[in-house]
């Protein structure tokens, strides 16, 4: 029998990152970042608080190869009763939070921030705006932790909208398609290499795990009473290994 342990938070948990300290995680809640030690359930504020909350909230986030945490915001569609409201374009911002807590705003006017991934050679950053149905590519400078040269990477796919993603060791992006009932595996040149059908409609994000990084863990969202397994966590064995997740840097005092 599998044992399941549950933790409750005061706000929705939107992203989690490993850190350079084993057992200590960086957690993005709707309006702020916190430190969390799951073994003892100790929690401390990180220091970053989202400007404009609760009108806006954080969404997808991930740590880059240089140890900075990137996270995007969006119009807050989580109503006080827990139900989902409307989402509008143009209110999201892409933030970079450095290891010393310094905050830089990199992109404005976003709808829903998703898909923060870096290529195996650390030269490319991938980012999606779900409302625009676009995945973008940027040049990434690991030394400076900076992005430039925005360009269209993957667009026009008619099965759902781009949600979260993971990247494998060959540089292919595994993009979860919200409303599309599938995952799109996208080649480094932006071409569609493979479509993996899923048993539920709303596929939200994925990550590689297991000892060989060949298990893809896939999260999904509810879509009404007609899909009993919507909102479940899925696991799928794949042939190509993923990349280990980067660890957020912890500034020394």
- Find, among 4, 3, 10, the residue nearest to 36 by Cα: 10
Q: What is the CATH number of the domain that holds 203?
A: 2.120.10.30
4 domain-assigned: no
What pLDDT band is residue 225 in, cutting at 50, 70 and 90?
A: confident
Q: Which residues of 99-133 are buried (b: 16+ CB within 10 A; e: fewer)?
A: beeeeeebbeebbbbbbbbbbeeeebbbbbbbbbb
Which pLDDT score is estimated for 82? 66
166 domain-assigned: yes
Which pLDDT score is estimated for 89? 75
CA pair distance 167, 207, nearest whole angstrom: 8
49 domain-assigned: yes
6 domain-assigned: no
CA pair distance 176, 90, nearest whole angstrom: 22
Enzyme catalytic residues = 163
153: tokens are: 């990477």
Average pLDDT for the chain: 94
66 domain-assigned: yes
pLDDT, one tens digit per residue, over 1-59 is: 678 889 999 999 999 999 999 999 999 999 999 999 999 999 999 999 999 988 899 99
Give the phi and the psi of residue 3 in degrees, each rounded to 5: -95, 135
214 domain-assigned: yes
Task: Give the residue numbers spanning the domain of 156.
Answer: 13-248
3 domain-assigned: no
Among 3-7, 59-63, 72-76, 117-121, which is the least confidently predicted range?
A: 3-7
Which pLDDT score is estimated for 217? 98
Total domains in the chain come to 1
119: tokens are: 């290529």
For residue 232, pLDDT over 80 is answered with yes
Q: Given CA atoms 233, 238, 240, 241 in this order, what sign does their dihedral have?
A: positive
């Amino acid at each position: 029998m599998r044992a399941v342990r549950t933790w409750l938070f005061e706000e929705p948990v939107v992203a989690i990152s490993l850190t350079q300290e084993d057992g200590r995680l960086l957690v993005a809640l709707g309006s702020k970042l916190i430190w969390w030690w799951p073994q003892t359930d100790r929690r401390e504020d990180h220091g970053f608080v989202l400007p404009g909350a609760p009108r806006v909230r954080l969404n997808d986030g991930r740590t880059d190869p240089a140890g900075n945490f990137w996270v995007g915001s969006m119009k807050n569609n989580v109503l006080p009763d827990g139900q989902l409201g409307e989402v509008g374009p143009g209110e999201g911002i892409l933030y970079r939070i450095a290891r010393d807590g310094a905050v830089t705003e990199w992109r404005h006017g976003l709808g829903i921030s998703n898909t923060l991934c870096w290529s195996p050679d650390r030269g490319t950053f991938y980012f999606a705006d779900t409302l625009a149905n676009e995945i973008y590519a940027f040049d990434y400078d690991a030394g400076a932790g900076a992005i430039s040269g925005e360009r269209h990477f993957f667009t026009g796919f008619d099965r759902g909208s781009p949600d979260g993603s993971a990247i494998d060791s060959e540089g292919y992006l595994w993009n979860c398609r919200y409303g599309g009932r599938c995952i799109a595996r996208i080649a480094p040149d932006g071409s569609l290499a493979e479509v993996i059908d899923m048993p539920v409609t709303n596929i939200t994000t994925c990550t590689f795990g297991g000892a060989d990084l060949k298990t893809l863990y896939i999260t999904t969202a509810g879509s009404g009473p007609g899909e009993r397994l919507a909102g479940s966590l899925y696991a799928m064995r794949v042939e190509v290994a993923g990349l280990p997740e980067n660890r957020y840097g912890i500034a020394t005092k």
